Amino acid sequence: MFKSIPLATALLLTSSATLANEQPNWATCIADLQKTAKSEGLSQQTIDTTLANVKFVPRVIELDNKQPEFSQSFENYFTKRVTDWRVEQGRKLYKEHKVLLDKLAKEYGVPPQYLLAFWGLETNFGSYKGKMPVLDSLATLACDPRRSRYFTQELMQALKLKERYNFAETDMVGSWAGAMGHTQFMPSAYAEYAVDGDGDGKADLWNSTTDALTSAAHFLQNLGWKRNERWGREVTLPADFSYTHLGKAEAQPLTRWAELGIKQTSGLPLSTPDMQAALYLPSGHTGPAFLGYDNFDVIMRWNRSTFYAIAVGHLADRINGAVALKVAPPKMPNLSRARVKELQIQLNDRGYDVGKPDGILGSKSVKGLQAYQKSQGLVADGYPDESTFKALNVK
Ligand code: CA
């Protein structure tokens, strides 16, 4: 959570070669971390034993520095995450944990299907919690200049958790970036939002599903989850739709979307309570369209990815009995960074300012692309399909 760590990463990292002291300045860095730990009020024993013994893990740096060569197409992302197996498993686990989940819905306002969807997406309902020693990973990242400050704070929180709950180092395992347990909480979220749901005196997100689900509900409540509201929904756009308002920055009142002819996929009109909603087309105009409500933004505070938010929302709906998407995500190639970068260069050359070309399709690029598509009589959905690449002479 807090960063996109693909589940696949957790799967691959069941073991890692640890080569101590390969990192230059490791000893100096650990000495500095020990000072920080002291000023943070950690005990001398933790500092002398735990912190002095953390190991540098080259693989963690390798993974952290890895620049993806492409961004996955929505179809590739979505079909791997929202699977029939996960839907079935979610329904089965709802029955199994019904008393708890219904209680959590009442207490925290987050319905069962959402908690199950997060659990399913984060760790396949607890099957893949990650096996990397968290303190080693965090110390390694804290000693790397890239995001030293953030990971130093997370390391301090992890050490405090260790003291507070008397966890063994060997039990504190997780993703390469330090996310832990059934719902992959980073240490700071663990420290602040984990709840001892089963009342054994310890918030244990690795071994207690009750603690983990209660903590997820508590966390979502604190991220601003709105009771009695959906995440959003798949919608049907009218044939002549103009795609002027795309994404979070262009959110509109639901009444406005209804005026523009957007309907529920059943054909029924949108219900129009006084709410803002943003339109998302994760695979362009040929794919499914979604309106994201306030709870969509809450999901994105857990993981800043629109694909993730759609996957959580839809998996939750499916667990709750809904059918598959009306418009299946179309098969599309993954977007290579090099290709998107070339597209950005071409747009800039033609006077559509999309900022410094970086190979990532951000909101500025989408805007520029839409303006270009419009000028060429292409569908102005801001999605670089093959006809757009062709028009811009991008191979
Ligand atoms: Ca507990």
Q: In this predicted model, what pLDDT tens digit does every residue of 117-144 receive, in sequence order?
A: 999 999 999 999 999 999 999 999 999 9
Tell me if residue 346 falls in helix, strand or coil.
helix
CA of 353 to the centre of ligand 1 (A): 53
How far apart are the CA of 210 and the centre of ligand 1, in A?
7
Closest CA to 219 of 138, 91, 109, 82: 109
N-terminal to C-terminal alpha carbon distance within the chain: 35
Question: What is this structure's pTM?
Answer: 0.91
In this predicted structure, what is the pLDDT of residue 74?
96
Cα(127) to centroid(ligand 1), Å? 19
Q: What is the pLDDT of residue 9?
A: 39
> Tell me, what amino acid is at 13?
L
pLDDT at 68: 80
**Ligand 1 geometric centre to CA of 113 (Å):** 22
230: left (phi over 0), alpha (psi -120 to 50) or beta: beta
Domain made up of 232-319: CATH architecture: Orthogonal Bundle (1.10)
Residues with CB under 5 A from ligand 1 (ion): 196, 198, 200, 202, 204, 208, 211
Interatomic CA distance for residues 117 and 87, integer angstroms: 9
Distance (Å) from CA 138 to ligand 1 centroid: 24
Instruction: State mean pLDDT over 298-320.
Output: 97
DSSP code, position 147: G
- pLDDT of 22 reads 60
What is the mean predicted confidence (pLDDT) over 354-361?
93
How far does the centroid of ligand 1 lie from the alpha carbon of residue 198, in Å?
5
296 pLDDT higher than 50: yes
Q: How far is the CA of 214 from the centre of ligand 1 (A)?
A: 10
User: How close is the Cα of 157 to the center of ligand 1, in Å?
Assistant: 19
- Residue 137: burial class (beta carbons within 10 Å; 0-12, 13-18, 19+): buried
What is the number of alpha carbons within 13 Å of residue 73 lying toward its C-beta? 17
Strand duo 276-280 + 263-264: pairing: unpaired
CA of 195 to the centre of ligand 1 (A): 7
Going from the Cα of 166 to the center of ligand 1, the distance in angstroms, rounded, reads 13
CATH 1.10.530.10 domain range(s) in the chain: 232-319
Beta-carbon contacts of 282 under 8 Å, excluding residues fewer than 6 positions away, are 74, 78, 288, 290, 306, 307, 310, 329
d(CA 276, CA 4): 26
Residue 54 DSSP SS3: coil
Query: Separation of 95 CA from ligand 1 center, angstroms?
Result: 21
Q: What was the pLDDT predicted at 66?
A: 87
Cα(40) to centroid(ligand 1), Å: 26
Average of per-residue pLDDT across 241-255 = 95
Binned at pLDDT 50, 70 and 90, residue 1 comes out as: low
Alpha-carbon distance of 298 to 295, in angstroms, equals: 5
pLDDT at res. 141: 97
Query: pLDDT per residue over 21-80, tens digit each?
Result: 467 799 999 999 999 999 999 999 999 999 999 999 999 999 998 878 888 999 999 999
Please say whether the beta carbons of 306 and 282 come within 8 A: yes
Q: Could you tell me the distance, in angstroms and rounded to a whole number, from the CA of residue 180 to the centre of ligand 1?
A: 15
Mean of the per-residue pLDDT values of the chain: 93
Q: In this prediction, what percent of the chain has a pLDDT beyond 90? A: 89
**For residue 211, how far is its CA from the centre of ligand 1 (angstroms)?**
5
Angle (nearest 5°) at CA 27 between 24 and 28: 85
CA of 52 to the centre of ligand 1 (A): 29
19, pLDDT greater than 70: no
Q: Which of 96, 90, 97 is nearest to 123 (CA)?
A: 90
Mean pLDDT to the nearest integer, 344-372: 95
